[in-house]
């Protein structure tokens, strides 16, 4: 009730005209005043040949359309909504020109929706855009989706290795083929637009998006960017160009996404103009020459100025100097971070050169405020017309005005192509070519298949881990084996070949074998993540706390040779694991074709090598965990394994023992959780507040408030004292206090939840409970969660999530949370807590208003 009222108030605050932008700016101090060193001289940037000569007939059609469109219709073309927040009816009414499906948005809100549902929704949106019954012009809608490593939002699609793995292949022809297949599979579900390729040149491997980049080397990125765009779109000028078997590409994220200080996602890129141009823009030159139809603006800033508001780079450089003739699309509410803007109001971004704002959940406000800006002249009609022209030209190049609905196009509904055998064969080849061999002591590899093989490690039979982020869900979390009908785990591939050759294979994730093996393959690695959720403080693998090292050592102690296969989105410091294992393979995030690993690790039945290692590092491998920005070509370059390293079977693979000094203090390694195994993490304090209001900070595993109303004890989970149990006999609250305020703007924008891993043993007698956050003096937000708690299974551990947007709607300033979590309830309640963290992985959620 209270939440709903506050939500209303928040809606009313939503600015609808130019005047309100200043208030919004006060709420979102995301951008600093631009620094002087961020000056740009377009004349020093490369000139590119845009491959489309002026098409007089198309220009005539654009002119004609434009002349007949109302201002409302024009504005509809430059605002893009997300399918989680817009309906076909909205498109019919507002005449929007485009929708997207974000990583976490799916038909019916189900991440595993069937391909048929995607296609039906594509038809419904298209039909709405073509429906002129309420007046207005029929302008076909385009649907953009993150088909980042295959059509990776759709169950059954072929999942290619993430870009970091493709970088290791050094094979542009293969990349072309992957792009071509991705386009085909994307068309089956009705979309004609992918937000790919990412041509970031990541310079700091702590960045959570490192794996989306092909390489730290601009030349390597450039060698892929153009061919990938051509594979997606077809060759400009040919008949196949943007036909029904191809999709339009958006090259992203322009510009400097891989160069932010500290490797911070959405951060500030403070490099020189020359580095911005020669390193970070390298991929755009061939991509524009190949005719990329869209470029996506980046979240990052250049010397304090957000790219979504950067006129010199978006307009003077990209459009004028580099002759980019497609349109510039924004990133997910990226415009809202420009100084003076909010998610629902930002003329500045269009004036700087953006042509289509990605306003996922904010499209209506954005539409209305943009309309007001055009009427007021704060967004000149000329600029609006130019943006619309660019979008219409793309639609004409795709021949969309002449096309039937998505399901009636050449590949619409051809779902047998999703995960088709010939597509999977290409993905499997990509896996083989992406594997990088770092150590092969005594030539233990390749293994004979006629052996007793143990396959261990939690990555061995784990498609989610193998595929990484941007797979069915945004973070790639929360999936099950059934979600991957057309896929083989690494275990599947090894078992099949070993058994076919007369050997025996056993899977034991924890290494506890039944049959004593001749050799073990241990597959382990990072949990899936996407964007800022994957940012790290250093390159320690899981902060040095994973159990994988013990697993490898235990097998070695048993006298069993170990081949380690590491799944990750970046090189990490693993010297201890590398020392402990006999062979070490960097497998990146291979995707659906785990069988490609067996193809390389195992000999064939005749004892011959099936496939030798081909992969070469496209990112330098660190000697210490503090070498996160050690890139080849730099002074003081001192990696453990240099850019380009990768053994083959012909090489001597012996490696002298490596130093096990990480170079960082593992204790200081922060995780992104606030409360872990019953203990507040570094920088946070656990506080108990009694029913009388008296507060006490807790340091011991057991505590009781002075008034006796709230008592805490340590309890065991799968680990000793892995949680804290709280018992209320009066009112009172459990609070997590942050020593310095936490800025959760990005998390809030990205639909992240506050997730508590908890066990409800008894409900409060009066049924009342609240989740509270604090944001400084006189700033807090409170959500009733009594009903949500009552619905949880009692006596069982579960994960309950509250969307950060709900807390913002309830009045929290998410940019400065000094109490990111508090649970207040009353007599009778008994609740245990083991972990609290910002996350997208939960089993139950609190229903609340997000706006």
Question: With CB under 6 A as the contact rule, which of the stretches 35-43, 497-505, 727-735, 746-754 interacts with ligand BGC?
Answer: 746-754
Nearer to ligand BGC, 330 or 591 (CB): 330
Measure Cα distances from 728 to 23, 679, 713, 761 in Å: 42, 19, 12, 12
From edge to edge, which strands make up the β-sheet containing 769-774? Answer: 695-697, 684-690, 732-738, 819-825, 769-774, 780-784
Residue 334: CB minimum distance to ligand BGC, A = 8
Residue 152 binds ligand BGC, judged by CB under 6 A: no
Nearer to ligand BGC, 146 or 492 (CB): 146
CB neighbours (10 Å) of residue 619? 30
Radius of gyration, CA atoms only, the chain: 27
Report the alpha-carbon distance of residue 199 to residue 54 in Å, rounded: 27
Fill in the DSSP letter of residue 28: -
Q: Provide the mask over 425-464, with x wherever binding to ligand BGC is found by CB under 6 A and - wherever it is not.
A: ----------------------------------------
Report the alpha-carbon distance of residue 684 to residue 284 in Å, rounded: 43
Residue 265 binds ligand BGC, judged by CB under 6 A: no
Nearer to ligand BGC, 532 or 573 (CB): 532
Judged by CB under 6 A, how many residues of this single chain contact ligand BGC?
15
Q: Which of 438, 682, 471 is nearest to 572 (CA)?
A: 438
Report the alpha-carbon distance of residue 252 to residue 328 in Å, rounded: 10
Residue 338: CB minimum distance to ligand BGC, A = 16
Nearer to ligand BGC, 488 or 751 (CB): 751
Residue 366: CB minimum distance to ligand BGC, A = 16
Nearer to ligand BGC, 182 or 489 (CB): 182
Q: Specify whether the CB–CB gap between 407 and 122 falls below 8 A.
A: yes
Residue 31 binds ligand BGC, judged by CB under 6 A: no
The residue from 106, 316, 458, 531 that is catalytic is 531
Burial 330-340 (b: 16+ CB within 10 A, else e): bbbbbbbbbbb
* 286's tokens: 């061939």
Query: Residues with Cβ < 8 Å from 298, sequence gap 6 or more?
Result: 252, 253, 254, 255, 256, 257, 307, 308, 331, 334
Residue 749 binds ligand BGC, judged by CB under 6 A: yes
Residue 238: CB minimum distance to ligand BGC, A = 27
Exactly one of 77, 80, 98, 105 binds ligand BGC (CB under 6 A); that residue is 105
Whether the ω angle into residue 446 lies within 30 degrees of 0, i.e. cis, is yes
Nearer to ligand BGC, 534 or 691 (CB): 534
Nearer to ligand BGC, 474 or 491 (CB): 474
Measure Cα distances from 418 to 465, 594, 695 in Å: 21, 17, 58
Report the alpha-carbon distance of residue 814 to residue 451 in Å, rounded: 56
Exactly one of 531, 538, 548, 782 binds ligand BGC (CB under 6 A); that residue is 531
* 638's tokens: 């001192």
Question: With CB under 6 A as the contact rule, which of the stretches 99-107, 227-235, 709-717, 813-821 interacts with ligand BGC?
Answer: 99-107
Q: Judging by DSSP bridges, how do beta strands 797-803 and 844-845 pair with one another?
A: parallel
Residue 750 binds ligand BGC, judged by CB under 6 A: yes
User: Residue 452 forms beta bridges with which residues?
Assistant: 504
Q: Which of residues 230-259 bind ligand BGC (CB under 6 A)?
A: 252
Residue 365: CB minimum distance to ligand BGC, A = 18
The residue from 82, 331, 577, 676 that is catalytic is 331
Nearer to ligand BGC, 196 or 846 (CB): 196
Nearer to ligand BGC, 394 or 587 (CB): 394
User: Residue 573 forms beta bridges with which residues?
Assistant: 540
Exactly one of 94, 111, 125, 195 binds ligand BGC (CB under 6 A); that residue is 195
Nearer to ligand BGC, 244 or 751 (CB): 751
Active site residue 64: no
Question: With CB under 6 A as the contact rule, which of the stretches 1-9, 101-109, 495-503, 595-603 interacts with ligand BGC?
Answer: 101-109
Residue 529 binds ligand BGC, judged by CB under 6 A: no
Residue 103 binds ligand BGC, judged by CB under 6 A: yes
Q: Provide the mask over 466-485, with x wherever binding to ligand BGC is found by CB under 6 A and - wherever it is not.
A: --------x-----------
Cα dihedral 281, 287, 292, 298, rounded to 10, equals: -20
Q: Where are the beta strands (DSSP E) in 398-551?
A: 436-440, 452-456, 504-507, 519-525
Nearer to ligand BGC, 103 or 678 (CB): 103
Q: Provide the mask over 51-90, with x wherever binding to ligand BGC is found by CB under 6 A and - wherever it is not.
A: ----------------------------------------
Residue 146 binds ligand BGC, judged by CB under 6 A: yes
The three-point CA angle 617-618-620 to 5° equals 70
Q: Specify whether the CB–CB gap between 466 and 567 falls below 8 A.
A: yes
Nearer to ligand BGC, 106 or 782 (CB): 106
Active site residue 796: no
Measure Cα distances from 553 to 548, 578, 813 in Å: 9, 11, 47
Question: With CB under 6 A as the contact rule, which of the stretches 487-495, 744-752, 758-766, 775-783 interacts with ligand BGC?
Answer: 744-752
Residue 610: CB minimum distance to ligand BGC, A = 36
Q: Which of 696, 721, 701 is nearest to 713 (CA)?
A: 701
Residue 83: CB minimum distance to ligand BGC, A = 10
Which 3 state secondary structure label does DSSP give 303? Answer: coil
Residue 593: CB minimum distance to ligand BGC, A = 24
Query: Residues with Cβ < 8 Å from 117, sequence gap 6 or more?
Result: 107, 108
Residue 143 binds ligand BGC, judged by CB under 6 A: no
Report the alpha-carbon distance of residue 310 to residue 322 in Å, rounded: 15
Exactly one of 193, 332, 621, 728 binds ligand BGC (CB under 6 A); that residue is 332
Question: With CB under 6 A as the contact rule, which of the stretches 97-105, 164-172, 286-294, 713-721 interacts with ligand BGC?
Answer: 97-105
Residue 398: CB minimum distance to ligand BGC, A = 19
Residue 331 binds ligand BGC, judged by CB under 6 A: yes
Helix (H) / strand (E) containing 784: strand 780-784
Q: Specify whether the CB–CB gap between 550 and 428 falls below 8 A.
A: no
Question: With CB under 6 A as the contact rule, which of the stretches 223-231, 400-408, 560-568, 747-755 interacts with ligand BGC?
Answer: 747-755
Nearer to ligand BGC, 192 or 751 (CB): 751
Directed axis angle between helix 218-233 and helix 172-188, to 10°? 40
Report the alpha-carbon distance of residue 626 to residue 647 in Å, rounded: 25
Exactly one of 104, 218, 537, 615 binds ligand BGC (CB under 6 A); that residue is 104
Residue 182 binds ligand BGC, judged by CB under 6 A: no
Exactly one of 102, 413, 459, 468 binds ligand BGC (CB under 6 A); that residue is 102
Q: Specify whether the CB–CB gap between 844 and 788 falls below 8 A.
A: yes
Burial 722-737 (b: 16+ CB within 10 A, else e): bbbbbbbbebbbbbbb
- Residue numbers of the site for ligand BGC (CB under 6 A)? 100, 102-105, 146, 195, 252, 331-332, 474, 531, 749-751
**Positions marked active-site:** 331, 531
């Amino acid at each position: 009730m209270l939440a709903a009222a506050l939500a209303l108030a928040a809606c009313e605050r939503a600015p609808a005209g130019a005047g309100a932008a200043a208030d919004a700016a006060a709420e979102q101090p995301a951008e600093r005043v631009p620094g002087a060193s961020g000056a740009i001289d377009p004349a020093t940037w490369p000139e590119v040949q845009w491959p489309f000569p002026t098409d007089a007939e198309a220009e005539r059609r654009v002119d004609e359309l434009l002349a007949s469109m109302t201002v409302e219709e024009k504005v509809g073309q430059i605002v893009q909504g997300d399918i989680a927040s817009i309906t076909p009816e909205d498109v019919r009414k507002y005449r929007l020109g485009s929708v997207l499906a974000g990583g976490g948005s799916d038909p019916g809100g189900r991440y595993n929706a069937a391909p048929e549902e995607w296609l039906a929704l594509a038809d419904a949106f298209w039909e709405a855009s073509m429906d002129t019954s309420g007046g207005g012009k029929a302008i076909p809608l385009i649907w953009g989706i993150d088909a980042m490593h295959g059509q990776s939002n759709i169950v059954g699609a072929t999942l290619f290795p993430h870009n970091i793995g493709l970088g290791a292949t050094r094979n542009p022809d293969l990349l072309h083929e992957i792009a071509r297949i991705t386009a085909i599979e994307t068309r089956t579900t009705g979309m004609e637009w992918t937000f790919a390729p990412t041509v970031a040149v990541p310079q700091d491997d702590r960045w959570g998006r490192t794996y989306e980049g092909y390489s730290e080397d601009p030349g390597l990125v450039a060698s892929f960017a153009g061919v990938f765009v051509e594979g997606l779109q077809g060759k400009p000028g040919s008949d196949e160009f943007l036909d029904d078997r191809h999709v339009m590409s958006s090259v992203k994220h322009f510009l400097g996404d891989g160069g932010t200080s500290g490797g911070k996602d959405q951060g500030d890129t403070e490099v020189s103009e020359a580095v911005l141009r020669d390193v970070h823009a390298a991929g755009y030159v061939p991509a524009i020459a190949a005719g990329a139809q869209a470029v996506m603006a980046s979240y990052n800033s250049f010397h304090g100025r957000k790219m979504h508001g950067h006129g010199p780079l978006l307009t003077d450089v990209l459009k004028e100097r580099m002759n980019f003739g497609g349109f510039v699309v924004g990133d997910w509410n990226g415009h809202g971070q420009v100084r003076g803007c909010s998610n629902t109001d930002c003329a500045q971004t269009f004036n700087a050169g953006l042509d289509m704002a990605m306003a996922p959940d904010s499209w209506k406000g954005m539409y209305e405020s943009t309309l007001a800006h055009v009427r007021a002249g704060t967004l000149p009609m000329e600029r609006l017309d130019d943006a619309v022209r660019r979008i219409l030209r793309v639609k004409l190049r795709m021949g969309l005005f002449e096309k039937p609905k998505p399901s009636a196009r050449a590949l619409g509904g051809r779902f047998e192509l999703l995960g088709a055998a010939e597509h999977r064969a290409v993905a499997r080849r990509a896996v083989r070519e992406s594997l990088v061999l770092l150590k092969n002591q005594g030539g233990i590899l390749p293994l004979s298949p006629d052996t007793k093989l143990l396959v261990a490690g939690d990555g061995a039979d784990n498609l989610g881990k193998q595929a990484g982020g941007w797979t069915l869900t945004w973070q790639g979390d929360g999936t099950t084996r059934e979600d991957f009908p057309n896929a083989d785990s690494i275990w599947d591939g090894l078992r099949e070949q070993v058994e076919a050759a007369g050997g025996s294979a056993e899977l034991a994730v924890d290494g506890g074998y039944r049959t004593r093996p001749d050799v073990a393959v241990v597959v382990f690695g990072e949990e899936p993540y996407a964007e800022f959720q994957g940012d790290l403080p250093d390159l320690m693998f899981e902060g040095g706390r994973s159990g994988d090292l013990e697993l490898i050592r235990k097998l070695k102690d048993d006298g069993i040779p170990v081949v380690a296969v590491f799944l990750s989105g970046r090189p990490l410091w693993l010297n201890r694991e590398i020392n402990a294992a006999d062979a070490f393979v960097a497998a990146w995030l291979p995707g659906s074709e785990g069988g490609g690993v067996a193809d390389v690790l195992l000999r064939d039945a005749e004892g011959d090598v099936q496939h030798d290692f081909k992969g070469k590092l496209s990112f330098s491998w660190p000697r210490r965990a503090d070498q996160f920005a050690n890139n080849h070509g730099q002074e003081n370059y001192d990696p453990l394994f240099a850019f380009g390293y990768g053994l083959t079977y012909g090489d001597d693979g012996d490696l002298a023992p490596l130093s096990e000094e990480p170079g960082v203090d593992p204790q200081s390694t922060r995780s992104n959780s606030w409360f872990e195994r019953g203990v507040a993490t570094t920088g946070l304090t656990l506080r108990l507040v009694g029913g009388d209001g008296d507060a006490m900070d807790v340091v011991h595993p057991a505590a009781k408030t002075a008034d006796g109303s709230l008592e805490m004890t340590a309890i065991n989970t799968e680990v000793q004292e892995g949680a804290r149990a709280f018992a209320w006999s009066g009112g009172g609250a459990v609070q997590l206090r942050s020593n310095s305020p936490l800025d959760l703007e990005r998390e809030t924008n990205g639909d992240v939840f506050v997730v508590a891993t908890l066990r409800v043993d008894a409900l409060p007698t009066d049924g009342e409970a609240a989740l509270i956050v604090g944001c400084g003096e006189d700033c807090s937000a409170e959500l009733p969660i009594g009903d949500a708690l009552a619905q949880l299974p009692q006596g069982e551990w579960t994960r309950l999530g509250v969307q950060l947007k709900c807390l913002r709607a309830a009045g929290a300033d998410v940019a400065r949370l000094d109490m990111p979590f508090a649970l207040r309830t009353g007599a009778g309640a008994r609740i245990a807590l083991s972990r609290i963290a910002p996350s997208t992985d939960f089993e139950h959620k609190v229903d609340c208003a997000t706006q």
